[in-house]
Structure 1
């Protein structure tokens, strides 16, 4: 498909999960820094927001009796009415009535090659942007004093003990045995473009992971909003969903808050190689993996595709957990 035939998306908006116990997840979400935006009793779901543009960044629904927890899919924002209309013409497209949801707007859902929902939003009233990010630092993020360059003079840095306030949903990822077809569908149907592509050690012709951003030409966007990784296990499953916080102090205090409230750490805190963000991964109440991140890279249409060998996951941080190929277990 030619580039001008692709449906252009401007940003990732939200993820959707079914939970075994919605009340347990609500307790976790509060400690994680998500704010309850709305409830839809008829659908038995709760919408959570951050303080960014999106009216909701996480939709949590109660799994029906007898059904398992599961990741349902993710929502994106269409650039224009025409992009939305073209999404509505994709095979299997289904309009969803969100007139009772915060911000209203129009929503269509389709299925990706693995059966997950791809939701496309258009015309939703956005939240008002704050003038600066919400930090745990009392009064806002401070100027840092370096060893030589001392800019903060006569002012103190004071922290507030609290959850890490969520700005937005930054990215999510899949592990799939359908890697090539999944990559091809996202990049040919929409304006997804690889930023970093990783290959298997010693096998440069075998790609095993693709970090994808939304190509908006000269406009800078997050290093990736979608991660696709090759799995040796049958099927496709969610890898993790990741939410941006203002700064590393906010991330560290959020980390401590989660520990102090009895939640289980997966991996962190550390700094990634690909995307550069400082990461902090947790199990939620259903043992889905959810991440805080701060200080990620930005790219645009002039940024080249970077290829590297897989396995170099962190510049610094604790050992990689066993679930992601590490050699030893870590504990909080």
Structure 2
């Protein structure tokens, strides 16, 4: 499938799911449930996990091939239109994906990016019905957390009571990876799809070298997440291309804190959190999963539209508040 002549820009509506391979699928399944995913289909080789958002699934977990280790495979996106899906199908190297047995069905094609990671473009999936409001750990019967401020008391005569358990995942918000081909990777995503940079960071002390780009999907006047894709420059020698993390949205800070407590009590390894980022503003909470991939809960992220002008800033200012940055991300203190 494909042609030697590339088609026009392929417009994507939203990020939908990520795909990982794990050496022990049963162990990851336990982590996934504790993280807040809902299992919606499974075979001996593959499990689909959903959130409570409209996507039929948000995470595909596969068994690693015999003798192989863990691997990040890639991510899936929903096409903006059927015409865009056909454009993706005609892209050089595009391969048809059998999605008939996937939750939601529909059609999908697979394209490889410059680093060999998969970009799946999907169309025609049956979406889940959205709940009337976000699923919160707060169980006081209201529309979510109601906060009493110092001067204004909005929660009169009502107590805040919380449900113990995992933080219910809404959707996949973003993923990111580190690449030795930073410029060509950023260029490919911008020229192939409707990705636009929201924030670009330069190397500390050197404005001439960009080291990270936060990409969103251009949807014109419609507001979208600050970023759904993060590309960062590999700094190690020799340079290595690897997944950075995948991040999933939860309803509110109380839900996030309850999820943090649940994962901590279950004995999982914390990477960094809880804190609030600068770029995107979201409250973050990073964990290692059972295969030692980094996975994040986030809440209260920024949304922007075409009126936002790309911001350039120096890299290194990662959090407004929170624990010290871990060593794996350039901090001076080891992971918690």
Band the TM-score falls in, shorter-chain normalisation: over 0.9
Answer with 273-282 or 229-238: which moved more. 229-238
Output the CA distance in 2 between the equivalents of 1:329 and 1:322. Answer: 5
1:203 correspondence with 2:183: no
Q: Report 1:58-137 matches (<5 A).
A: 58-137=59-138
Contact 1:248 1:294 in 2 (8 A): yes
Q: CA deviation at 1:214?
A: 0.2
Output the CA distance in 2 between the equivalents of 1:188 and 1:241. Answer: 23
1:179 corresponds in structure 2 to: 182
Q: Report 1:143-158 matches (<5 A).
A: 143-158=146-161
Output the CA distance in 2 between the equivalents of 1:161 and 1:286. Answer: 25
Q: CA deviation at 1:142?
A: 2.5
Contact 2:12 2:77 in 1 (8 A): yes
What 5-or-longer segments of structure 2 have no aligned partner? 1-6
Q: Report 1:9-20 matches (<5 A).
A: 9-20=12-23
2:293 corresponds in structure 1 to: 288
SS at match of 1:12: strand
Cα deviation digits, residues 254-292 of structure 1 (max 9, x gap): 000000000000000000000000000000000000000
Contact 2:8 2:87 in 1 (8 A): no
Cα deviation digits, residues 13-55 of structure 1 (max 9, x gap): 00000001000000000100011010134xx100000000101
Cα deviation digits, residues 167-198 of structure 1 (max 9, x gap): 00000001011000000000111000000000
SS at match of 2:276: strand
Contact 2:13 2:219 in 1 (8 A): yes
Contact 1:96 1:106 in 2 (8 A): yes
What's the TM-score, normalizing by structure 1?
Answer: 0.97
2:165 corresponds in structure 1 to: 162
Query: Equivalent of 1:246, from 244, 247, 251?
Result: 251
Cα deviation digits, residues 101-132 of structure 1 (max 9, x gap): 11100000010000000000001010001111
1:31 corresponds in structure 2 to: 34
SS at match of 1:5: coil
1:223 correspondence with 2:226: yes
Q: CA deviation at 1:64?
A: 1.5
Query: Equivalent of 1:235, from 240, 254, 257?
Result: 240
1:325 corresponds in structure 2 to: 330
Answer with 31-40 or 305-314: which moved more. 31-40
Output the CA distance in 2 between the equivalents of 1:201 and 1:67. Answer: 37
What 5-or-longer segments of structure 1 have no aligned partner? none
Output the CA distance in 1 between the equivalents of 2:265 and 2:72. Answer: 27
Cα deviation digits, residues 66-103 of structure 1 (max 9, x gap): 11110000000001111000001111100011111111
SS at match of 2:271: strand
1:255 corresponds in structure 2 to: 260
Contact 1:178 1:235 in 2 (8 A): no
Q: Which runs of 4+ in 1 moved over 6 A?
A: none
What's the TM-score, normalizing by structure 2?
Answer: 0.96
Contact 1:218 1:301 in 2 (8 A): yes
